[in-house]
Structure 1
């Protein structure tokens, strides 16, 4: 069987995966805090037809003769560049200007997110759309931030300080804490705009336990109230990549068709 046919098949499979990644990016163009994906390829092992030979006293050296066997997926990366900021004027919509991630917890596990659309539950705790508590630091030691029901207003500052007023005085509740991550691309997506820690993420830790910091410290960004960080997907870039992937897919199918025609000619030699 011709090697070109198998090379074409590998190319088709890879560009189908590339289209899957592009399709997911486009589908999430308006998803809050979404980080786009990017796929890279690498060549597969090449078949050695003749090995290299060193130079001798009577003859120069000879380079190896190799035939490539197609391509394979090298990586699918999450690109954590800053998304554009959308002003909402909602006091519970928070955007991060810079690095770092919000931390939310379901009581059993902690998740990281750039989606800052938070809400108040019936008890006044700040939660995300799944009901996970926004991680903070309070004097009582509770990592949940709660605004009393009798509060007539509250404020979240750029350094993460959360305070409320009952009409007479301003009281600080605590601080929003952020995760400082040296390699955000190493986080694993788990859906619902959430990430979990991975072996290669580099979340700041102390004694193998994740340690969270105040906004604006340890390389993290500051909080912008009344705004959301939207997706970092660029539609013009995605459509360009889609056209390229489509043409490359077609080129690989043409290679399979051409290889099939050659095989047909070989079969017909006996006639």
Structure 2
């Protein structure tokens, strides 16, 4: 029994250390554009069957602790804040921008775009944006419509052509996307493939001059932080109590 309680306490310490890691990451990204917070889920480990169930008698089982079942991406939308910067683009609704480093495709909600040295609209990492085909050098202004269509005016006052349309993609299970850093996601075996979004311009809108903020709620995170701290302390107390009982048993011989 004592060894079981020690192991159970250790499993709790490990789990709530991971819980604190998840909370810390959420809090550190409270101001990260397009960030999607994580949520940890626990599940119990297998039980030690002291006696199996029989007719008229329940089984006698002793639990052996807990383990991390999953860490989910919570893909609810963040608040869209106006920036006034024409290169900033937010998705108001579901979906992701598709970007590429020339070889691999990634997905992001962070629309803090900019021009590179040759006048192309790219991400902060210099990745190309799916659907954007034109060059923005020589434009006096440009507009991105709610459906992603880009129109512009040349310096001589003539309409610019061939600027493209920012495409938006959706997934059957967006929570299954894997984070790879730099506010980028990649397709996983559980996310499903990228599908061009329907309803862009109506149910989902592209908003120029705005950015989507993180969906982290500091009030929730601080509450979870207190919960994780107390649970960690309680599991540590389980270990110290078991240690004290072991010490008592050892001293019986003295």
TM-score normalized with structure 2 length: 0.95
Q: Distance in 2 between matches of 1:87 and 1:269?
A: 72
Is the 8 Å Cα contact of residues 36 and 74 (structure 2) preserved in structure 1? Answer: yes
2: CA distance between counterparts of 1:50 and 1:150?
Answer: 80
Provide the residue aligned with 1:236 in structure 2.
219
Is 1:110 the counterpart of 2:100? The answer is no
Q: Which residue of 2 aligns with 1:139?
A: none
- How many Å separate the matches in 1 of 2:3 and 2:142? 70
- Paired residue secondary structure (1:62): coil
Residue-pair matches, total: 251
**Deviation per residue, 1:7-33 (Å, 9 max, x gap):** 000000000000000000000000000
Following superposition, the deviation at residue 214 of structure 1 comes to 6.2
Rounded to whole Å, the distance in 1 between the matches of 2:93 and 2:168 is: 11
Q: CA-atom RMSD, angstroms?
A: 1.6
> Are 2:138 and 1:145 aligned?
no
Q: 1:79 aligns with which of 74, 80, 103?
A: 74
1:179 paired residue number: 169
Structure 2 CA distance for partners of 1:22 and 1:32, relative to 1, 3 Å: same
Which residue does 1:23 correspond to in 2? 24
Q: Which moved more, 1:177-186 or 1:256-265?
A: 177-186
Q: Aligned partners of 1:148 and 1:214: how far apart in 2?
A: 27
Unaligned residue ranges in structure 1 (runs of 5+): 55-60, 137-143, 205-210
Residues 1:164 and 2:152 are matched in the alignment: yes
- The residue aligned with 1:67 is 62
Question: Displacement of 1:173 after TM fit?
Answer: 2.0
Q: Which residue of 1 aligns with 2:208?
A: 225
Given the alignment of the two structures, is residue 97 of structure 1 paired with residue 86 of structure 2, yes or no? Answer: no
Write the distance in 2 (CA, Å) between the matches of 1:39 and 1:184. 17
Greater displacement, 164-173 / 41-50: 164-173
Report the Cα distance in structure 2 between the residues aligned to 1:84 and 1:30, rounded to whole angstroms: 11
CA positional deviation for 1:203:
2.5
The aligned counterpart of 1:33 is: 34
What residue number does 2:253 align with? Answer: 270
- Between 1:161-170 and 1:74-83, the stretch displaced more is 161-170
Name 1:132's counterpart in structure 2. 127
Q: Which aligned runs of 4 or more in structure 1 are off by greater than 4 angstroms?
A: none
Distance 1:172 1:215 in 2: 23
1:57 maps to: none
- The offset of 1:215, in angstroms, is 6.1
TM-score, normalised with respect to structure 1: 0.89
From the superposition, tell whether residues 6 and 148 of structure 1 become closer, same or farther in structure 2 (CA, over 3 Å): closer
Q: Distance in 2 between matches of 1:53 and 1:264?
A: 38
1:212: how far off?
A: 3.2
Contact 1:25–1:36 under 8 Å retained in 2: yes
